[in-house]
Amino acid sequence: MILDGKKVSKLIKADLKKQVTSITNNLGYTPKLATILVGSDEASKVYVNMKVKACKNIGIDSLKIQMPENTTTNTLIKKINELNESKQVCGILLQHPTPPQIDEAKCFNAIALSKDVDGTNTASFGKMAMGQPAFKCATPLGIIMLLDYYNINLQGKNALVIGRSQILGKPIASMLINKNATVTIAHSKTKNLKRHLKQADIIVACVGKPEFIKTSYLKKGVIIIDAGYNKGNIGDVDLKGARKKASYYTPVPGGVGPMTIAALLTQTVKACKNLK
C-alpha cells in the first residue's frame, strides 16, 4: 500500500487554511513565517520558494530574507535575534545548508524555542527526545504524521534508520522510540548492514545515495519510508523491486517531501496560536 504523502498533506493543508482564516478573523493577525537563505545555492532557493508558496496557499504571510554568501555568523545571529523580537513573526526557518564560514549549529540555537518551527534548535531536540512538548524537525515529524494517518502501529516493531543527520536520522530515531519501536541506527561505519535490513519491520532510509537499498536485503511485509531524494527523482531505495515485498511504502516523489511542508506549516500555525 502506498503511503501517499501528497494526498495526506493536501488534507492537512486544507484544515490549516481554515485555522489560519479563523486566527485572522478572530485576532486580526495573520501568521508570518520568516525564511532566511544565506548565499545563492540553487537547490536551497527552490526549497525556500516552495515553502513560501505553500504558506501563501493556506493564508500565511512570508518574510523571505536573502543574505549574501559572505555573511558572518555574528551578522546572521543578529538578524535571527531581530526576528525573535518581532511581534509580527511567529516562525523562523534558517535554510540548510549555510556557507562554510557559518557556525550553523550556533545559528540554529539562536532561534527562540517559541519560533523554532523547523525544530533545529538543540534544546528543541532535547525536549522532543525526552517526550516533552517541543517543535520537531519538519521531515521526521512529517513521517510520523504520515504513519499516524494510516494508523500504522509502531509498538514493538524493529525499526532501522539508515542515516544519522542532525535534522533527519537522529530525530526520527527518537520519535520512533517515543512510539515504542525498537530502533537501530545504521551509518557509514555500520558492519553487516544486510543483516540489519533483513531483521527490520520498518526502514527509514535517509542516506542520500540513489537506490542504495536493494530488494534482496528486505523481508516480506516491511514498511519502507524513503526519505532520500536524489537527482532524477530517485530515492534511496530500489522501489521497483522493494514494493513487491513491502506492506507499505512511500513513493519518490510524493511521499515524504510533501509531508515535510505540511509539518512545517502545522508548527507555524501552532506557534502563532501559542504566541497569541
The percent of residues in the chain predicted with pLDDT above 90, rounded, is 90
Non-local CB neighbours of 32 within 8 Å, separated by 6+ positions = 60, 61, 62, 63, 88, 89, 90, 91
What gap in Å lies between CA 146 and CA 150, rounded to an integer? 7
Tally of CA atoms within 13 A in the half-sphere of 114 that contains its CB? 13
Across the range 156-164, mean pLDDT stands at: 97
Instruction: Give tens-digit pLDDT for 15-41.
Output: 999 999 999 999 888 999 999 999 988
Q: How confident is the model at residue 276 (pLDDT cuts 50, 70, 90)?
A: low
Annotated domain spans of the chain: 27-114, 138-257
The reply to whether domains 27-114 and 138-257 share a CATH topology is yes
Cα 272 from Cα 127, distance rounded (Å): 20
Q: Going by DSSP bridges, is the β-strand pair 248-249/223-226 parallel, antiparallel, or unpaired?
A: parallel
* From 118, 226, 236, 238, the catalytic residue: 118
Catalytic residue among 32, 95, 115, 226: 95
Give the 3-state secondary structure of residue 24. Answer: helix
Class of domain 27-114: alpha beta
236 touches 213 (CB < 8 A): yes
For the question of residue 118 being annotated catalytic, the response is: yes
Residue 239 confidence (pLDDT): 86
Q: Determine whether 6 is an active site residue.
A: no
Choice among 4, 13, 32, 51 that is catalytic = 51
What is residue 7's predicted lDDT score, i.e. its pLDDT? 98
More confident residue, 266 or 28: 266
Q: Is the pLDDT of residue 133 over 70?
A: yes
pTM assigned to the model: 0.96
- Strand duo 158-162 + 182-186: pairing: parallel
Asked if omega into 100 is within 30° of 0 (cis), the reply is no
CATH class of 138-257: alpha beta
Q: Is 4 a catalytic residue?
A: no
Is the predicted pLDDT of residue 123 greater than 70, yes or no?
yes
